Amino acid sequence: MEELKNKDLMINENYAIRLLKRFVNQREFSVTILFILLFVALSLTARNFFTFETLRAFMLAFSIDALIAIGMVILLIGGGFDLSVGSILALSGAVMNLFLHFNLNPFLSVFLGFLAGVLAGLINGLLVSRIGINALIATLATMGIYRSLSLITFTSVGTKSIPEVLNKLADFRILGLEFYVWLMFLIVILFSIGLNKSRFLRQVYYMGGNIDSARLSGMNVKNLTLINFLITGSLASLAGILYVIRFRAASVSLGTNTALDVITAVIIGGASLYGGRGSIKGALTGLGLMVLIQTGLVFWGVDANWQRLIVGAILILAVSIDVLTRRKK
């Protein structure tokens, strides 16, 4: 009897330790720790950091890119890749700007701009899933094409500030936070549940794990790929519209670094370029860390030129730790 109890206890203890270990071993965990450390350090050393205004600024910078990060991590999990997100973002803004220039109804312009980005995502998806072009190559090409298209529209009509209704929308806050921060929260929750629980998105993990086995298991891998690109394109397009609203005018240079920044963030957060691994939580913590570094440099008064160096170092660090711990196992 006594012995039995001891055994039970031991098993429980082992279980707790195992659970803890599993938690600690996750990349999200180490990135979150890093985030917290940096946050605390900033709060202690930089004056005016720990204020609502700073937090708000952080959320502003974070939330729009977060939309793209969500799309990107889903693509990466499924073994895909999209270099054109920055160009899609610029394109949707440019198309919206074009229609505003012709004095079309603002909301219709917003809708048409969004549609342009969705279409761009659809084209990516068709190129990869139907013609069978490698995702990297296909989106390398469309990255240039979409960028050119947006530049062409800009040079032909010039940028125009957004009309009054959209200005009001840009100022609209709930509990002190801009509406698109709330929109981001909503989308995050939706996709987190989706990726965890929906059958459709669960299939994305299978596809990234082994595309041939997924096909043999009856999953429609072509449609899955297509829809993944469509999701990513739509989210990038939405981000493009929100950027225009936030800055109150479309801009030529919008999104030039977005693709690589977001991919970096998502990989810091534990996604794999080989597919099958990654999570929304990870993508967002990775992105959060990057935005915090940007903010931190400003507060510490460090030259912004350091930013890419630090982000690069963190990327190498995060991936090295992963590779080394895996090898030990």
Give residues in contact with other proteins (CB under 8 A).
193, 197-200, 202-203, 205-206, 209-210, 212-220, 276-277, 329
Beta-carbon-side half-sphere exposure of residue 218 (alpha carbons within 13 Å): 0
* Choice between 113 and 276, CB closer to other proteins: 276
| Helix axes of 221-247 and 164-171: crossing angle, nearest 10 degrees | 100
- How far is it, in rounded angstroms, from Cα 183 to Cα 49? 25
- How far is it, in rounded angstroms, from Cα 232 to Cα 238? 10
Residue 208 C-beta: closest distance to other proteins, Å: 9
* Choice between 5 and 329, CB closer to other proteins: 329
* Choice between 3 and 212, CB closer to other proteins: 212
* Choice between 146 and 205, CB closer to other proteins: 205
Residue 214 C-beta: closest distance to other proteins, Å: 8
Residue 196 C-beta: closest distance to other proteins, Å: 8
Six token digits for residue 59: 């959320």
Six token digits for residue 276: 């099958």
Which residues, 6+ apart, have CB-to-CB distance to 227 below 8 Å? 125, 200
Residue 198 C-beta: closest distance to other proteins, Å: 5
Residue 210 C-beta: closest distance to other proteins, Å: 5
* Choice between 148 and 196, CB closer to other proteins: 196
Which residues, 6+ apart, have CB-to-CB distance to 281 below 8 Å? 28, 192, 269
- How far is it, in rounded angstroms, from Cα 98 to Cα 22? 51
Residue 12 C-beta: closest distance to other proteins, Å: 15
Q: Apex CA 268: angle with CA 29 and CA 32, to 5°?
A: 25
* Choice between 201 and 314, CB closer to other proteins: 201
